[in-house]
Amino acid sequence: MITVIGSINMDLVVETDTFPKQGETVQGKLFTTIPGGKGANQAVAAARLGSQVRMIGAVGDDSFGIELYKKLMSENIDVSGIVKTNNSTGIANILLHNRDNRILFVPGANFDLNKEIIDANIQLIRESKLVMMQLEIPAETIEYVFTICQEHAIPVLLNPAPAANFKKEWMNQITYLTPNETECELIFGADWETVLKEYPNKVIVTLGSEGAAYYDGSKIVRIPGFKTTAVDTTGAGDTFNGAFAHAICSGKSIDDAVEFANIAASLSVEKFGAQGGMPTIDEVLARLGGQEV
């Protein structure tokens, strides 16, 4: 069982031909609501690949919260750890223009995910094969989960996004850290190759279409990405994380798990939407050439 502890959001996406200036009103082209939140995205990614997944998070007692709760249930995710609070469901307001975007994130109920909620689900955490977290929930909650996982020898995969919320003192409690190039530099203040050598088999840096890399203790291992035509790169990183967690929990080596995650991410960018593009296990295996995971 993979337990994902993290954010659950509704993405409110508006497409426009013109970014409005301050005080200006312009007409938009398209509005859509898309289930999101890095926690929910990564939970869906792992579940679509066949993992048993449990989600611990918080939504508001509103229409978005109800819709997101039902969406996670429909993906065969155990939602018994999701609570409803008096806050509003978290949202990301995304303004798209000519392949550029501006995003306003309102955490809402995600920041209600506290120690008490974790305590109510502590037995579920203890039963986990791996715990996966991101940084769209309170830091004190993340730290509390680290303590529980360390006490019970449960591996932790942390996706450090947004990177500004990361604390370097967490490194000795993390089993796998999965930053992209930009996040790696923001967190450590150094180029990614230097960082990998400092944390062998722990830091896996994602390199977009170039794949991903890690240091195995003697050399930097670069696992190339699968070249494809991208339609929408939203959620590619979340797909990578969910797929990597699935492969690791299936007993694969880091090398094989990264290759599997790269393939899953390449499939995810071929469709629109973060969760909408996340592949099934059959799709990944077909692109891998039939290797079982």
**Catalytic residues, which ones?**
238
Three-state secondary-structure class, residue 37? coil
CA distance 164 to 167: 9
CA-CA-CA-CA dihedral for 69, 72, 77, 79, to nearest 10: -10
Q: Which two tokens stand for residue 181?
A: 């190039």
Cβ atoms 287, 252 nearer than 8 A: no
First and final C-alpha spacing in the chain: 15
Cβ atoms of residues 158 and 31 within 8 Å: no
Burial (0-12, 13-18, 19+ Cβ within 10 Å), 262: buried
Distant-in-sequence, close-in-space partners of 153: CB < 8 Å, separation ≥ 6? none
